[in-house]
Amino acid sequence: MLISGMQLRHSLTPRFFAGVFNKRKPTKKDLDHYDIVVIGCNLGGVLSRQLDKVSHGKYKIMVVLDQNINQITPIRQIYEQQKTAKTDFLLNAKLSLNMYTAHSDQVGCQTILPEENAIVLRNGRRIGYNQLVVAMGQQVNYNAIKGFEDAWQDFDSPVFTNLDHPSWRSSNHKYTRWHYNFNHGEAYFCIPQFPFSGEVESYNFFLSQRIWEWQTANGRQSPIKKFTIIQPNERFVQYNDAGDSFFKEELKRRNIYVEYGLKLVEVNKQYNTATFEDVKTGNRQTRNFNHLYAVAPTKAHEPLVKAGLTTSKGLLDVNIKTLQHNKYKNIFGLGDVNDLPTTNCFWAGFHQLHVVRNNIERNIAGKSLNAEYDGYSKVPIILGQNTLTFLCHKYNNENAWHNLYFSNGGFLAALRYYNWCKNFKKAFIDIYLEKNWGPPYYKIKKSFKLPEGENDDHGFLSKLLPGKKESHH
């Protein structure tokens, strides 16, 4: 496993030293029952840290994880530009856990039994819970594209995607070749059908166009070429009209061709051919390609479907404001796994994190759920080799105040890009290591307005000044 010096330093702190300098012992990994079980170790791991911190170790928490690496997708595009290191993009999953939290040693969840308040791991171990948090993300499904994985993991094949193959060694830099190894002919960027993980976040075609434009102007690329986006959906952004219009207008302005109603179903790496299927008629056509990039398609998590926890889209059926499951009131959802009318991305999940943390505590205490998620989502859009804007919106197609600011490029867009490249890779590490609470307030924990007539029995001011209510943001 590839880890940086910073990751190694922090990964050695944990459970091995817990109890050496303080009396508190780590939660045992072999308990039959936990107060809170979290399935997923990206945002789920961060949630476990925050729950432990706000409760002062009151809860026994188990995090179920089935992989040892988290790929930090918000910085994928600058990673493909080689503006950030592999060790910043690929993080040790256990970094998000503190020394007191139990984990499943990379044994994933096989079955969820919501009627029995229990889960079963893939090794047959049964674990009971009082509260369950599902933070599994969306399940990648490259099997939906015949022959794709074989081509993807082959260093010499001009087939790319928005993830690193788990078999790649640290010296494998194929992920940079999409932008920098295209010379001539037909290039395709393929988007899967909704829902999928990486909507907007994985759209690197504006960056590709600018790089290839520069290479053509400087004699490094043939002018005889064509760049086509294969788009099975009618929209580029499901839940924001301004964002969708921006993509369509910008693609037209840059002369990038878009074919609607087709999806990628097969890749032949021997002959460099791709087969596309009409999503309405089912008719198929095979084309030659010189360069091909496909955003990972996804499928529903089988344990969620079998447990009856999903909507018709295969995503978790939760209240869009409280993020509590609509049927099982001791189950909450976090991140891309939720069926929510907003753009799924890392920052959307992070704003959900505060809501889930608050509502779980209140649910345990038998109180009403007072935290509500407003659908806020913030996704970087790389416009060129050194410019960036953000898609920022909330539920009901409401634009955030800074939505698509500086989307025409220029100095301020370049400044945003510089800040993203220089500071945000560290920001993710800081969030994992609990150096701050993350957005929106970072150094100050986000709290929520209490229901009428209810006093805060946990706040510092309420203990110091009985009868006074602690102010909330």
> CA-to-CA distance for 263 and 279, rounded, in angstroms?
7
> CA-to-CA distance for 196 and 141, rounded, in angstroms?
10
Q: For residues 11-30, b (16+ Cβ closer than 10 Å) or e, as one string?
A: eeebbeebeeeeeeebbeee
pLDDT of residue 294: 98
* Cβ proximity of 109 and 64 under 8 Å: yes
pLDDT of residue 248: 98
> CA-to-CA distance for 401 and 382, rounded, in angstroms?
19
Closest CA to 3 of 112, 86, 122: 86
pLDDT of residue 51: 95
For the stretch 328-381, pLDDT in tens is 999 999 999 999 999 999 999 999 999 999 999 999 999 999 999 999 999 999
**Residue with tokens 């649910």, as numbered in its chain:** 363
pLDDT of residue 58: 94
Q: For residues 284-323, b (16+ Cβ closer than 10 Å) or e, as one string?
A: eeeeebbbbbbbbbbebbebbeebebbeeebbbbbbbbbb
**Residue with tokens 């009318």, as numbered in its chain:** 341
Name residues of the chain where pLDDT drops below 50.
1, 3, 6, 8-16, 459-473
pLDDT of residue 458: 53
pLDDT of residue 442: 85
* Cβ proximity of 294 and 161 under 8 Å: yes
pTM over 0.75: yes
pLDDT of residue 440: 86
Instruction: Tell me how many degrees the CA angle 198-203-205 measures, rounded to the nearest 5.
Output: 160
R_g over Cα of the chain:
23
What rounded mean pLDDT belongs to the chain? 90
Cis status of the peptide bond prior to 439, with omega within 30 of 0: no
For the stretch 240-272, pLDDT in tens is 999 999 999 999 999 999 999 999 999 999 999
Side chain identity at residue 104, one-letter code: S
**Residue with tokens 């410019």, as numbered in its chain:** 387
Q: How many CB atoms lie within 10 A of CB 456?
A: 16
* Cβ proximity of 144 and 157 under 8 Å: no
